Amino acid sequence: SQRRALLTHCAGVAAAWCGVAPSPAAASTGHEAQAGLAARMRSGGIVIAFRHALAPGTFDPPGFVLESCPTQRNLNDEGRAQAERIGQWFRSQGLVPAQVRSSPWCRCLDTARIAFGAQAVTPWPALGSPVGTAEQAYPEHQAQLRKAVALRRTLGGFEVWVTHLFVLQDLVGQGLGPGEALLLRGDPRAPDSRSALQVLGHWRPPSA
């Protein structure tokens, strides 16, 4: 079934990416380009889409409840510290997002709230994990995300999303380590097209 294929896909991606922090060498290389990424954000018209900070494990426990954080996979101490460093970097650069939207899963909400403040964060089901989202709803969620990236280009400013590895993998075909992000720009003339999404950069959180 389509659901079984999705779970198989997610498991394969998870084996390569879930819970894997970037190596010091990779982080160092990424930081060399951070000033350029900050300039892109200041120029506006983009979305910076994060994978949530470190939450060890793969998937949520069986029978998890979206409204109950103790039933889910959550950030550990390192993940919470990583989220704090994300927020510190944005503040150090004087970067204030026009909007912060998050998957309603607790590890995403916690990442966003720690980094940007609880009052700034809006839960958005379209950013939710495919594992736990109704099968028929997930393609529509992906379409909503593509349209939102395109709309941001016309609105100016930049917005922050916090979501899951699988969502970003399906949206742009790229994986991320925990707490990493992609700078995305869409084409308002083709808001429904995956090929109209551009990845402008790969942001990595500062190391401890």
pLDDT, mean of residues 15-36: 49
Backbone angles phi, psi at 199, to 5 degrees: -95, 115
The alpha-helical segments, DSSP class H, found in 18-76 are 24-31, 34-43
- Give residue 31's pLDDT: 53
> Residue 164: is it exposed, middle or buried by C-beta count within 10 angstroms (0-12/13-18/19+)?
buried
> How far from 143 is each of 41, 146, 149, 167, 184, CA to CA, in Å?
23, 5, 10, 11, 15
- pTM for this entry: 0.85
**Ramachandran region, residue 206 (left: φ > 0; alpha: ψ -120 to 50; beta: rest):** beta
- Tell me the per-residue pLDDT of 144-180, one tens digit each, with 9 for 90 and over: 999 999 999 999 999 999 999 999 999 999 989 999 9
The CA distance from 14 to 3, in Å, is 16
